[in-house]
Amino acid sequence: MRLSTKGRYAVMAMTDLAKRQDESEGRAVALAEIAARQQISLSYLEQLFARLRRKGLVISARGPGGGYRLAKASNATFISDIVLAVDEPLRATRCGLSKNQAKGCMAGGERCMTHGLWEEMGRQIHGYLASVSVADVLKGELRPARPLEIAAE
């Protein structure tokens, strides 16, 4: 699976927004502040936040003291929602078609032999990101979905 800068930057900015909003007791946070702290282009952040606002993840406030606030509490804002809001598909297959379509990534429309593997991996990644909130990231409470078993060498 590939996660582009859109998804990574949106998560970074939303996490920064949540932290600053908590520290300032709910005050709106200016994108210029987030851009400076996270070293992200302001114009790029403006594009991302327009998408986040359309998807209902942030609320904008105009005028003096204006900026953005989370639309929901940080513990109710999930990483998968942020990534999907900026149009990042959480898919690992190369065909990019919905699962109910017969066509696949191979010439002639067949699915490759490993399609099921990549499709399930994409579901696992989405499930993990859907289980992690912005509050979890801020607290550093990131755990694997289940403990990995490492084979003895």
Report the C-alpha gap between 134 and 34 in whole angstroms: 15
For residues 92 and 66, which has the higher predicted lDDT (pLDDT)?
Answer: 66
* Mean pLDDT taken over the chain: 84
Report the C-alpha gap between 104 and 93 in whole angstroms: 9
What's the sign of the alpha-carbon dihedral 68, 74, 76, 80? positive
Only one residue has tokens 């946070």, namely: 29
Average pLDDT over residues 26-51: 95
Residue 14 reports pLDDT greater than 80: yes
User: How do residues 44-53 score in pLDDT, each as one tens digit?
Assistant: 999 999 999 9
Nearest to 33 by CA among 18, 44, 48, 20: 20
Tokens of 152: 């003895």
Residue 139 has a pLDDT of 94
Confidence of residue 98 (pLDDT cuts 50, 70, 90): very low
Report the C-alpha gap between 2 and 117 in whole angstroms: 15
Average pLDDT over residues 115-119: 83
Residue 103 has a pLDDT of 64
Q: Is the pTM of this model over 0.75?
A: yes
The full set of domains in the chain, from first to last, is 5-139 (1.10.10.10)
Strand partners, 58: 70
User: How do residues 58-82 score in pLDDT, each as one tens digit?
Assistant: 999 988 888 999 999 999 999 999 9
Confidence of residue 101 (pLDDT cuts 50, 70, 90): very low
- Burial class from Cβ neighbours inside 10 Å (0-12, 13-18, 19+) for residue 125 reads middle
